[in-house]
Amino acid sequence: MALYESELQRILKYYSDIVQLYKQTINKAPQGSLVWQSNRGKDQFLHLYSVNGQRIRHGINGDIPLQRALAQKEFARKALKILEPNVESLRRAIDGIVPFDPNEILESMTKGYARLPEEYFFDRDLLSIDLHLEGEKDARIRRHQGWEDEEFHQSNYHDEYKTIKTSRGEMVRSKSEALILERLYSEKIKVHYEHVRYINDIKIVPDFTFEGRDGRPFFWEHVGMLDNYKYARDNYDKLRRYYHAGIVPGDNLILSFERHGDIDMEMIDAIIRCEVLPRL
C-alpha cells in the first residue's frame, strides 16, 4: 500500500502546486473583471470594477496587458473551483488508507489456519508486483505500434533552438523535454514531439501528442520557467488557445510544471503511470 500512498502524495503535490500558482495569479491581478459586449458588430472589452461602492466600467480594447491579466484571473478562478476540491479529496483519500501487510493478516489467523503453509494463502511474488496497469500495459502499447512511424507535420519554429539530442536522435528545445521523452521511450510509449495540428481552425503545437485508446489524440504540455514572466504569460495564452480548440485538462490535456529549471522526475514518472498509460 505504500506504493499507492506515495503515488497519491505525488499527485497531491502536483495539484497543490497548481493551486498555489493560480492563487498567486489572482492575488496579483487587478481588481474587477472583464466584460464583453458587441458594439455595432465589433467586439468591445470593458473593465468592470468598484470604487467606494460605485460600479465603474471603461473600455480596454487598446489595453492588451489588462485584458490578459483579467483573462488569466478568470481562468485561475474557474480552475481553482476544480483543483481545490481535488486537493481535499486526495488528502481525505490518503488519510483513509489502511496499510496492507500480509504478515499482519497471517498473524491474526486462528491456530488452525496458522498451521498451514504460507503459499496456501497467497503468492508473495504476485503481491510484490507493481500493479499499475502492469498486466495490460504491453497490450495497450502494441495497439499504437504503427502510429509513431506515421508522417506528421513537426513544427520548424526556431529550429535553431532545438539543441538537445535524445537517445533516438530527436532534437528538442530543453533538457526537461529530453528527460520526459527518454522516460516515454523507456516505457515504449509512442509519441510525436511538437506535432502541428489545426482544430477548429486553431493552430496548436503541443509538446507531446499521443494516440488515445479510442483513436482520439491527447496531449501533454510541459510548462517550464514559471519564474519567467514572459514565458508564463505566453503559456497562459497557449492554454487559452487550447481551451478554444476543445483541449482541456482532465480530458485530453496533461500539464506538468517546473520552476527555476528544476524538474521533478518522480512526478514525471507518476504522470506517465497515472495519466498517460490509462489513456492509451
Q: What are the grid coordinates assigned to 106, written together?
A: 497471517
Task: Give 94-124 pLDDT, tens digit per residue.
Answer: 888 777 777 778 888 888 888 888 778 876 6
Q: Band of the pLDDT at 135, cuts 50, 70, 90?
A: very low
Q: How far is CA 8 from CA 150, 254, 280, in A?
A: 35, 17, 21
137/101: higher pLDDT: 101
Residue 131 is predicted with a pLDDT of 42
Residues 181/222, Cβ–Cβ less than 8 Å = no
Q: What is the pTM for the complete model shown?
A: 0.53
- Non-local (6+) Cβ contacts of 185 within 8 A are 166, 167, 168
Task: Give 48-73 pLDDT, tens digit per residue.
Answer: 999 988 999 999 999 999 999 999 99
- What's the mean pLDDT when you consider all of the chain? 85
Q: Average the pLDDT over each of 6-10, 243-247, 250-254 and give the range with the smallest value.
A: 6-10
Smallest Cα–Cα separation from 256: which of 234, 229, 225?
225
Residues 117/49, Cβ–Cβ less than 8 Å = no
Cα separation, 134 vs 154, in Å, equals 32
Residue 197 is predicted with a pLDDT of 92
Residue 106 is predicted with a pLDDT of 81
